[in-house]
C-alpha cells in the first residue's frame, strides 16, 4: 500500500533515471579525464591539497602538508603517475578529556595524480619547507626530428 502523495515508480523508469544520471556525470567529469589532465586516481585516509605547475623543463608539485616529518612521507613516480603518501601524527598527547572542535586531519594520507606526460623519474627531487612538500619532476627529453631504425635479418 502506498502512502498518499508518494508516486509509484516502475523499474524501467528507475533504470532510465539512473542512465540519465550516469550520462550527466560522464559529461561533467569527462573534462577531468581528458588526455593531459591531472586526475586524482585514489586516496586513503585524508588527502592533502596539491598544486601542479609546468615549466618548459619540468613539472612542479606543491603539496600542503604542515606538521609532518620528511621521513614520514613517501613519494613514488611510476611512468606518468605520482603517488604521495605518509602519516601526520597528532602532536597532543595524553590528558585531553574532551574535544571541542576538530578540523585538522591526522593519520595516514595519500594522494595520486596522473601527470600530463611521463617524466624522468630517476632525476626527480623533493624538498620540505614551511609546511610544503615541493616535488620537481623533469620532463623526459624528446628527440626532435625523425629517427632511422635499422632493420636486421
Quick check: is 96 in a domain? Answer: no
Quick check: is 49 in a domain? Answer: yes
Quick check: is 131 in a domain? Answer: yes
Check if the beta carbon of residue 108 is closer than 8 Å to that of residue 85. yes
CATH code (residue 59): 2.60.40.790
Rounded CA gap, 49 and 145, in Å?
39
Quick check: is 150 in a domain? Answer: no
Check if the beta carbon of residue 99 is closer than 8 Å to that of residue 122. no
Quick check: is 5 in a domain? Answer: no
Quick check: is 100 in a domain? Answer: no
Quick check: is 15 in a domain? Answer: no
Q: Which residue has the cell 627531487?
A: 125
Provide the domain limits for residue 75.
36-91+106-143
Which of 75, 85, 72, 87 has its CA nearest to residue 43?
85
93 pLDDT tier (thresholds 50, 70, 90)? confident
Query: Which range has the worst mean pLDDT, 53-57, 95-99, 109-113?
Result: 95-99
Rounded CA gap, 73 and 85, in Å?
6
Domain count, the chain: 1
Report the predicted TM-score, pTM, of the whole model to 2 decimal places: 0.65
Residue-wise pLDDT tens digits, 39-87:
444 446 899 999 999 999 999 999 999 999 999 999 999 888 999 999 9
Residue-wise pLDDT tens digits, 125-152:
999 999 999 999 999 876 566 666 666 5
Amino acid at each position: 500500500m502506498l502512502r498518499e502523495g508518494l508516486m509509484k515508480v516502475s523499474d524501467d523508469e528507475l533504470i532510465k533515471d539512473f542512465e540519465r544520471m550516469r550520462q550527466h556525470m560522464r559529461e561533467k567529469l569527462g573534462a577531468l579525464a581528458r588526455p593531459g589532465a591531472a586526475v586524482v586516481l585514489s586516496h586513503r585516509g585524508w588527502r592533502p591539497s596539491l598544486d601542479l605547475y609546468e615549466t618548459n623543463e619540468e613539472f612542479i608539485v606543491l603539496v600542503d602538508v604542515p606538521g609532518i616529518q620528511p621521513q614520514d612521507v613517501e613519494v613514488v613516480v611510476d611512468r606518468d603517475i605520482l603517488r604521495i603518501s605518509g602519516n601526520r601524527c597528532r602532536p597532543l598527547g595524553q590528558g585531553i578529556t574532551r574535544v571541542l572542535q576538530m578540523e585538522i586531519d591526522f593519520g595516514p594520507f595519500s594522494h595520486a595524480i596522473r601527470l600530463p606526460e611521463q617524466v624522468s623519474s630517476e632525476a626527480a627531487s623533493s624538498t620540505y619547507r614551511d609546511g610544503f612538500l615541493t616535488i620537481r619532476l623533469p620532463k623526459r627529453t624528446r628527440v626532435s626530428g625523425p629517427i632511422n631504425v635499422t632493420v636486421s635479418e
